[in-house]
């Protein structure tokens, strides 16, 4: 029986559907304290004074923390960026001033959450208002500084240049100039907010049950900030209700629960965010502006060069940034064969919520930019959208991009063809002609995108050569427990991706047993020792990094099992086969009735070892395997090297009609084709594809973090920041092709983020609907009120220009 | 997300509720379905000293077809109304009741609470304007009946006197040959409408005998668009009349910029939804069954 490739029902679902999941907020004890975080109502203000006396006096209050406690007890979090980032002081509470609305200024631990909140609201904070800066270009003028010690708001600047850009432009038949594009701010809001319990006992051990989704990395930043050796820190998670990257950096505020616990004599303290806290002060996706873009094309419409100036807005604190200033380069040319690039990349802080790696992190922004370019050029040169893609797609694999990334495999033309058939491209083209005759605004758009998985942390050194990160790794421990049961521990800490299921499928195939005979431990626990500094669930990689670790661990275990069984059964390893006998999982000698079951093998190693001899000294039936993808440190000078191992692809086509009365873009048809190489579990892949599609559609039509000019977040509840629900979800036709990756043992490619495909696709469809109206789609958000504004202000002349000339006359 | 501390009182009768409210005075709030009040308390936009829960008062949730008049008890929930024979017989009532927020809200939220909130985004006040409703109240000075017109005096302000509560709503059953529609455009189910328009037309021999047009989320109070009604009454719903009615509805509105859209965008929606509601009302007046649910972004 082969389990990999089958839609095995998710092992996780039984407990989750029955309400037997354990989320961080489910943890409860009667003696536990509850933390309330008082947050700044202002985006930029100096803290003149804080008076906590009334809060401290309220019955039931155990302790109050303010910035002055924190300053004494914490080392500011390590900054990843180069100078001047090292001057940025990032602590769990604001100390001298606040720099975004929702920034924590004090915390109260009390017997109940209600008392904690009552007390928190008794804290009197006197603020001196400062001017706020929310516009990134204005921020770069440095007239208003967020981090005075850094003396600038600019956290990153560099130029990414590849090929012969100037020559390509002088040889070009057409140059298309687009003066401004903007990717809006949103986040893939998980259903579970940030939460943890912390218990910092008298022996100095600090135990968290939390929902951090990148524990291996977070521990390295959290422990030093609390002046703890990592060994003193235990991080556990059980079930996590979605992360999408947003929960990577919740450790910043987990520290508050820990400090409160220590101050209260080691009592357990729970912190659980409200939705408004999450929207105001958790993490947003990167907002990016693309200025002065110029595109060189040959006479046939093949793009030969692109130059542009990108400004990324990372909000108040860089935190995981400025990594996003590099991560996009994993997909520098998108799915296209462009060889010449000059991208001037700058990042700035603003008085807004910090950004975090949100589903599609940094690549999505760049892929949207590339798709807008291709789409706008096609319209300007009157090349049909499908032909434009076919002219420019990369077709040979493995493909080395201009910056040294290796695209493993793919077949974009086949995906396009499949999507066109699925949606009835020709039929819609005909209907579009009819619709236009009736004055209706109907558009058809293509979005081709990439989901780069298993990243090379060495790319961080392109940003800051001093960073001690490179490569990637994931860890798996597999053992036969005392009773012979197969137990697997991982470092991934999943947040809904079904790791227990897909891991069981791989192990079941390797041991030739049933997946139900395998226990994959739920969640993450640093005490299992099954983690590395890269461990976590992020960057679309489990099917490659995680399952390669599982596969490698299986090989080590099997070798030991063969050795032990061979010794006991007096047989050659080659004669042994794995399977299930009358007494459960076993190894047997081919063609005989001789066998040894897992219980006895475990018994021999663990409790009955006088039967063994010295040749079996290394047989433990408890093996740990670290998977390391074959990466090198990139050339940091040239910004060149392989940044990611696998490249899953998505191709979506949408048909959209703009209701000219309500200005709502109605999705009339939607097809989504996915290629993630070898599929481990089609049902799980489908779920991820559907979820990624929903997040993208929500971002386009509904979800936007909008700030006013003084830095108030105007969309801080779910009735203003409306996440997409099933009520707003159009019918989507799903399909797939399979181009196995040559770089993973199983042919799989990491998937799950989805590359923001609907953002590219719907922008293109809306462009197609509005081009004849003189409108260029320059933004990624298309809610009805925004479309209303756009329809009233045609912008083509002010946005795009085309210079065409005869070439070759020289 | 915890309210400030308050005293909780559960009233068994209307008289007891009124007595409690009068006794406690300014710091008291009425709790019925709690779908607006609890959110306000949890966000600490209001910190009342006392809540008087009227939710368990018997027989205040009845829906009664008394022939010419429909009576709905103040505690009737949106879902109870939406599933009632009244809603089946009068489609505009179904449009409104079944289009409010999501199932969780509709299961608990009450018509009385919706009217008492004085919120121009709440659906029932707009609908009652469309149906010429009346509000039955009881206070320390006894019972009285108020016209829906003028009941919402300003943003969140109603004609209710201190310690006075709404006990029921009533409206005349639309005549034969009458049809109505309540159309909303909103971002998503739990969000308030960006714009709501209610239209009720009585048509005899192709001619509009009477018309009612009301607008929600279009100003600081629900708005009766009388000038728009006048464009239709006596006419035969020609395209020109409908356009003029839509223009008059826009002129009657006083929308403002907010997260739901600019005032200009909302004006365009008022015109659009007025036309759509007229079209559905006309078809329903002719006896046709027309499905109508909120339109989401």
Residue B166 has pLDDT above 70, yes or no: yes
Per-residue pLDDT, averaged over B72-91, amounts to 97
Q: Please, where are the H alpha helices in A18-61?
A: 53-57
Segment (H or E) for A596: strand A595-597
**Which of B5, B43, B265 has the CB atom closest to A785's CB atom?**
B265
CB contact under 8 A, B259 and A706: yes
User: What is the C-alpha to C-alpha distance for residues B262 and B194, in angstroms, rounded to an integer?
Assistant: 10
User: What is the C-alpha to C-alpha distance for residues A698 and A782, in angstroms, rounded to an integer?
Assistant: 10
Task: Inform me whether the C-beta atom of residue A725 falls under 8 Å from chain B C-beta atoms.
Answer: yes
Name chain B contacts of A694, Cβ cutoff 8 Å: none
CB contact under 8 A, A788 and B185: no
CB contact under 8 A, B2 and A719: no
Name chain A contacts of B185, Cβ cutoff 8 Å: 662, 664, 784
Q: What was the pLDDT predicted at A276?
A: 95
Whether the Cβ atoms of residue A312 and residue A285 lie closer than 8 Å to each other = no
State pLDDT tens for residues B176-210: 899 999 999 999 888 999 999 999 999 999 999 99
List all residues of chain B from 247 to 266 with a beta carbon under 8 Å from chain A.
259-262, 264-265
Name chain B contacts of A661, Cβ cutoff 8 Å: 268-269, 271-272
Say which DSSP state A725 is in.
-
**Which of A121, A662, A701 has the CB atom closest to B272's CB atom?**
A662
Q: Which residue has the tokens 């047993």?
A: A513
The listed CATH number (3.90.1170.50, 3.40.50.2300, 3.40.309.10, 3.40.50.720) that belongs to domain A31-130: 3.90.1170.50
Q: What was the pLDDT predicted at B296?
A: 87
**Which of B44, B265, B297 has the CB atom closest to A728's CB atom?**
B297
Instruction: State which residue of chain A sits closest to B293, comparing Cα positions.
Output: A727
Any residues with CB less than 8 A from the CB of A40 and at least 6 apart, and which?
A94, A98, A100, A101, A102, A103, A104, A105, A125, A127
Task: Inform me whether the C-beta atom of residue B192 falls under 8 Å from chain A C-beta atoms.
Answer: yes
CB contact under 8 A, B262 and A785: yes
HEC string of A567-587? HHHCCCHHHEEEEEECCEEEE
Burial of A462 (0-12, 13-18, 19+ CB in 10 A): buried
Task: Inform me whether the C-beta atom of residue B44 falls under 8 Å from chain A C-beta atoms.
Answer: yes
Whether the Cβ atoms of residue B223 and residue B252 lie closer than 8 Å to each other = yes
pLDDT, mean over chain A: 97
Name chain B contacts of A715, Cβ cutoff 8 Å: 259
Strand duo A303-313 + A340-348: pairing? parallel
- Compute the nearest-CA separation of B105 from chain A (Å): 13
HEC string of A154-174? EEEEEEEEECCHHHHHHHCCE
Percent of chain B with pLDDT over 70: 100
Task: Inform me whether the C-beta atom of residue A701 falls under 8 Å from chain B C-beta atoms.
Answer: yes
- Compute the nearest-CA separation of A27 from chain B (Å): 19
Task: Inform me whether the C-beta atom of residue A726 falls under 8 Å from chain B C-beta atoms.
Answer: no
Q: Which residue has the tokens 């639309």?
A: B174
CB contact under 8 A, A783 and B187: yes
**Which of A274, A706, A728 has the CB atom closest to B188's CB atom?**
A728
Report which of A255, A245, A240, A258 is spatially closest to residue A321, judged by C-alpha positions.
A245
- Mean pLDDT for each 10-residue chunk of chain A (810 residues)? 94 96 95 98 98 98 96 95 95 97 98 96 98 98 98 98 98 98 97 97 96 95 96 97 95 97 97 96 97 98 98 96 97 98 98 97 98 98 98 98 98 98 98 97 98 96 95 98 97 96 98 98 97 95 97 98 97 96 96 97 97 96 98 97 98 98 97 97 96 97 96 94 90 97 97 95 98 98 96 97 74
Name chain A contacts of B4, Cβ cutoff 8 Å: 118, 121
**Which of A274, A720, A725 has the CB atom closest to B189's CB atom?**
A725
Region of A785 please: left (phi>0), alpha (psi -120 to 50) or beta: alpha
Size of interface A-B (CB pairs under 8 A): 71
Say which DSSP state A640 is in.
B
Instruction: State which residue of chain A sits closest to B101, comparing Cα positions.
Output: A719
ipTM value, please give it: 0.94
- Compute the nearest-CA separation of A662 from chain B (Å): 6
Name chain A contacts of B260, Cβ cutoff 8 Å: 785
> A469-627 maps to which CATH number?
3.30.365.10
Tell me the CATH class for A156-187+283-315+334-458+634-804: alpha beta
The count of other CB atoms within 10 Å of the CB of residue A417 is 17
Which strands sit side by side in the sheet containing B165-172, from one edge to the other? B63-65, B69-73, B165-172, B134-139, B142-147
Q: What was the pLDDT predicted at A301?
A: 98
Task: Inform me whether the C-beta atom of residue B5 falls under 8 Å from chain A C-beta atoms.
Answer: yes
CB contact under 8 A, A118 and B262: no
CB contact under 8 A, A723 and B296: no
Task: Inform me whether the C-beta atom of residue A666 falls under 8 Å from chain B C-beta atoms.
Answer: no
User: What is the C-alpha to C-alpha distance for residues A534 and A468, in angstroms, rounded to an integer?
Assistant: 12
Name chain B contacts of A783, Cβ cutoff 8 Å: 187, 297
Q: What was the pLDDT predicted at A808?
A: 52
Our measurement of the distance from residue A242's CA atom to the centroid of its chain's CA atoms, rounded to an integer in Å, reads 11
Instruction: State which residue of chain B sits closest to A275, comparing Cα positions.
Output: B1
- Domain annotation for chain B: domains and CATH numbers: 1-173 (3.30.465.10), 178-296 (3.30.390.50)
CB contact under 8 A, B265 and A714: no
Whether the Cβ atoms of residue A284 and residue A185 lie closer than 8 Å to each other = yes
Q: Which residue has the tokens 């600090």?
A: A206
The count of other CB atoms within 10 Å of the CB of residue A57 is 10
Task: Inform me whether the C-beta atom of residue A723 falls under 8 Å from chain B C-beta atoms.
Answer: yes
Per-residue pLDDT, averaged over B167-174, amounts to 96
Instruction: State which residue of chain A sits closest to B185, comparing Cα positions.
Output: A662
Per-residue pLDDT, averaged over B283-293, amounts to 96
Burial of B59 (0-12, 13-18, 19+ CB in 10 A): exposed
Map out the domains of chain A as residue ranges: 31-130, 156-187+283-315+334-458+634-804, 469-627
Q: Find residue A577's DSSP bridge partners.
A: A588
Name chain B contacts of A730, Cβ cutoff 8 Å: none
- The token pair that represents B282 in the structure block: 């006309």
Domain A156-187+283-315+334-458+634-804 and domain A469-627 have a common topology: yes
Name chain A contacts of B192, Cβ cutoff 8 Å: 719
Report which of A796, A626, A647, A650 is spatially closest to residue A734, judged by C-alpha positions.
A650
User: What is the C-alpha to C-alpha distance for residues A346 and A136, in angstroms, rounded to an integer?
Assistant: 10
CB contact under 8 A, B192 and A719: yes
Our measurement of the distance from residue A707's CA atom to the centroid of its chain's CA atoms, rounded to an integer in Å, reads 24
Segment (H or E) for A452: strand A441-455
Task: Inform me whether the C-beta atom of residue B8 falls under 8 Å from chain A C-beta atoms.
Answer: no
**Which of A664, A701, A715 has the CB atom closest to B259's CB atom?**
A715
Q: Which residue has the tokens 């495909």?
A: A757
**Which of A661, A701, A720 has the CB atom closest to B297's CB atom?**
A701
Q: What was the pLDDT predicted at A727?
A: 82
Task: Inform me whether the C-beta atom of residue B108 falls under 8 Å from chain A C-beta atoms.
Answer: no
Q: What was the pLDDT predicted at B291?
A: 95
Q: Find residue B135's DSSP bridge partners.
A: B146, B169
Q: What was the pLDDT predicted at A807?
A: 57
């Amino acid at each position: 029986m082969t389990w990999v490739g089958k839609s095995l029902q998710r092992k996780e679902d039984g407990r989750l559907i029955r309400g037997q999941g354990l989320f961080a907020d489910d943890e409860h004890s009667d003696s536990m304290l509850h933390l309330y975080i008082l947050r700044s109502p202002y985006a930029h203000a100096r803290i003149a004074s804080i008076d906590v006396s009334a809060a401290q006096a309220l019955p039931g209050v155990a302790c109050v923390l303010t910035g002055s406690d924190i300053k004494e007890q914490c080392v500011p979090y390590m900054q990843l960026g180069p100078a001047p980032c090292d001057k940025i002081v990032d602590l769990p509470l604001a100390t001298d001033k606040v720099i975004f609305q929702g920034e924590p200024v004090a915390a109260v631990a009390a017997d109940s959450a209600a008392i904690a909140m009552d007390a928190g609201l008794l804290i009197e904070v006197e603020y001196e208002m400062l001017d706020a800066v929310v516009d990134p270009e204005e921020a770069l003028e440095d007239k208003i500084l967020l981090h005075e010690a850094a003396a600038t708001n600019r956290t990153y600047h560099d130029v990414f240049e590849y090929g012969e850009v100037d020559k390509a432009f002088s040889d070009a038949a057409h140059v298309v100039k687009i003066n401004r594009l903007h990717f809006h701010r949103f986040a893939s809001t998980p259903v579970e907010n940030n939460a943890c319990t912390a218990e910092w006992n008298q022996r100095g051990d600090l135990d968290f049950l939390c929902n951090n989704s990148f524990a291996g990395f977070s521990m390295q930043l959290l422990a030093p900030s609390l002046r703890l050796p990592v060994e003193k820190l235990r991080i556990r998670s059980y079930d996590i209700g979605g992360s999408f990257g947003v929960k990577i950096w919740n450790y910043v505020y987990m520290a508050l629960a820990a400090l409160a616990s220590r101050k209260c004599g080691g009592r357990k303290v729970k912190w659980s965010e409200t939705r408004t806290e999450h929207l105001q002060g958790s993490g947003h996706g990167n907002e990016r502006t693309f200025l002065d873009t110029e595109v060189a094309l040959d006479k046939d419409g093949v793009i030969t060069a692109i130059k542009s100036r990108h400004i990324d807005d990372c909000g108040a604190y860089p935190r995981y940034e400025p990594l996003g200033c590099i991560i996009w380069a994993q997909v520098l040319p998108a799915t296209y064969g462009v060889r010449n690039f000059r991208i001037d990349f700058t990042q700035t802080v603003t008085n807004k919520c910090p950004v975090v790696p949100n589903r599609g992190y940094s690549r999505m922004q760049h892929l949207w930019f590339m798709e807008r370019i291709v789409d706008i050029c096609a319209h300007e040169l009157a090349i049909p959208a499908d032909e434009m893609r076919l002219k420019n797609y990369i077709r040979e694999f493995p493909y080395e991009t201009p910056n040294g990334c290796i695209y493993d495999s793919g077949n974009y033309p086949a995906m396009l063809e499949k999507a066109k058939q699925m949606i009835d491209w020709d039929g819609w083209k005909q209907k579009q002609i009819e619709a236009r005759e009736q004055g209706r605004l109907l558009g058809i758009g293509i979005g081709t995108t990439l989901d780069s998985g298993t990243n090379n942390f060495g790319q961080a050194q392109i940003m800051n050569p001093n960073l001690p990160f490179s490569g990637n790794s994931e860890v798996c421990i597999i053992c036969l427990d005392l009773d012979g049961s197969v137990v697997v521990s991982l470092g991934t800490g999943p947040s809904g991706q079904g790791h227990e299921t897909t891991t069981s499928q791989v192990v079941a195939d390797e041991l030739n047993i049933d997946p139900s005979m395998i226990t994959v431990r739920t969640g993450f626990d640093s005490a299992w020792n099954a983690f590395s500094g890269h461990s976590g669930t992020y960057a679309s990689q489990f099917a490659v990094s995680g399952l390669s670790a599982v596969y490698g661990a299986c090989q080590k275990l099997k070798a030991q099992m063969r050795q032990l069984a061979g010794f006991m059964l007096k047989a050659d390893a080659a004669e042994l086969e794995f399977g299930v006998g009358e007494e459960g999982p076993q190894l047997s000698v081919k063609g005989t009735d001789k066998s040894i079951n897992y219980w006895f093998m475990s018994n021999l190693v663990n409790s009955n070892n006088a039967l063994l001899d010295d040749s079996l000294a290394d047989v433990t039936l408890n093996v740990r395997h670290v998977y390391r993808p074959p990466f090198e440190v990139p050339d940091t000078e040239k910004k060149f090297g392989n940044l990611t191992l696998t490249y899953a692809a998505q191709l979506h086509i949408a048909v959209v009609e703009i209701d000219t009365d309500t200005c709502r873009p109605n999705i009339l048809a939607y097809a989504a084709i996915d290629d993630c190489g070898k599929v481990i579990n089609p049902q799980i892949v489908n779920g991820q594809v559907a979820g990624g599609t929903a997040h993208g559609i929500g971002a386009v039509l509904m979800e936007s973090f909008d700030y006013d000019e003084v830095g108030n977040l105007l969309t801080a509840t779910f009735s203003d920041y409306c996440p997409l629900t099933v009520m707003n979800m159009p019918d989507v036709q799903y399909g797939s092709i399979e181009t196995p990756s040559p770089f993973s043992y199983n042919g799989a490619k990491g998937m799950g983020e989805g590359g923001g495909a609907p953002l590219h696709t719907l922008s293109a469809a809306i462009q197609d609907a509005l081009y004849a109206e003189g409108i260029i789609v320059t933004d990624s958000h298309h809610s009805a009120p925004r479309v209303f504004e756009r329809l009233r202000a045609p912008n083509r002349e002010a946005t795009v220009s085309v210079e065409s000339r005869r070439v070759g006359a020289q | 997300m915890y309210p400030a501390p308050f005293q909780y009182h559960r009233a068994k009768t209307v008289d007891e509720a009124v007595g409690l409210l009068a006794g406690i005075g300014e710091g008291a709030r009425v709790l019925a379905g709690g779908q607006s009040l609890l959110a306000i308390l949890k966000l600490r936009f209001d910190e009342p000293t006392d809540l008087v829960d009227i939710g368990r008062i018997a027989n205040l949730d009845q829906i009664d077809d008394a022939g010419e008049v429909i009576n709905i008890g103040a505690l009737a929930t949106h879902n109870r109304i939406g599933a009632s024979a009244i809603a089946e017989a009068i489609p505009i009532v179904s449009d409104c009741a079944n289009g409010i927020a999501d199932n969780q809200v509709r299961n608990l939220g009450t018509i009385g609470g919706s009217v008492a909130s004085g919120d121009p985004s709440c659906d029932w006040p707009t609908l009652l304007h469309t149906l010429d409703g009346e509000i039955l109240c009881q206070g320390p000075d006894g019972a009285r009946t108020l016209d829906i017109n003028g009941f919402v005096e300003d943003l969140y302000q109603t004609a209710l006197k201190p310690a006075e509560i709404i006990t029921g709503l009533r409206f005349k059953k639309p005549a034969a040959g009458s049809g109505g529609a309540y159309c909303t455009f909103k971002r998503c189910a739990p969000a308030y409408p960006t714009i709501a328009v209610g239209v009720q037309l009585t048509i005899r021999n192709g001619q509009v005998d009477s018309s009612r047009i009301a607008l929600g989320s279009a100003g600081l109070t629900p708005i009766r668009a009388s000038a728009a009604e006048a464009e239709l009454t006596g006419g035969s719903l020609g395209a020109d009349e409908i356009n003029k009615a839509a223009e008059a509805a826009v002129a009657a509105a006083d929308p403002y910029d907010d997260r739901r859209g600019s005032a200009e965008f909302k004006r365009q929606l008022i015109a659009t939804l007025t036309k759509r509601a007229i079209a559905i009302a006309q078809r329903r007046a002719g006896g046709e069954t027309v499905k109508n649910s909120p339109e989401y972004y």
